[in-house]
Amino acid sequence: MASGEEEGGVDEKETNNKKRTKGAIATAWLTVYNIAMTAGWLVLAVAMLRYYLQKGSHKGLYRNIAKTLKFFQTFALLEVGHCAIGIVRTSVIVTGVQVCSRIFMVWFITNSIRQVQNEESVILFVVVWTVTEITRYSFYTFNLLNHLPYFIKWARYNMFIVMYPLGVVGELLTIHAALPYVRRSGMYSLRLPNKYNVSFDYYYFLIIVMLSYIPLFPQLYFHMLRQRRRVLHGEIIVEKDE
């Protein structure tokens, strides 16, 4: 009987050690990831500021930063994986919608339709994304290191109140500006008859995407407001990434 208890105790210790090891590895990876993403968006911010100071105009700015933006925004797909494997306590669906909607804006709107790249709305959402991501990733980094400055915590849970709606406005105006070019070119559309016997109109798809903001934006916005109330009222922060 005693031997069985000792064996059980050894197994429990081994299990706890494995959990601690996995937890340490996950924390180390998330720290490296968030530092890298903070640095990446800082590079993007500096590049935008330098371009505007040199040129005095936003024309051509997007093309100048496009590679950096596409790389770091696409790299954020890892966050969906973080949620899926459980190293981050955030909904896979919420994270997936947020990340994939941005990737869609980058690759299938702004990158694909060059005529909209000089629109002011593009610069609006890119600037909003940049400020938001620098704040968000630096928040996660310091939180993981257990040294979270109050001003970063404050910025994380207050700036989105203005930034989030501004970003949505920029995205919607950009999609709207793209519609005439999509309709004329027929890009990404599939007309009947064809061997697949399937019809797809990218123009109407973009209209549906714009309409989807009506139910999705309030849900995500109020989700952030609920988080803000919990954190600023002194409850324990359990998130490490989002």
Which residues form the catalytic set? 164, 171
The answer to whether 185 touches 193, Cβ cutoff 8 Å, is no
- In a 10 Å sphere around its CB, with 0-12 CB exposed, 13-18 middle and 19+ buried, how is residue 10 labelled? exposed
The answer to whether 136 touches 242, Cβ cutoff 8 Å, is yes
The residue type found at 155 is: A
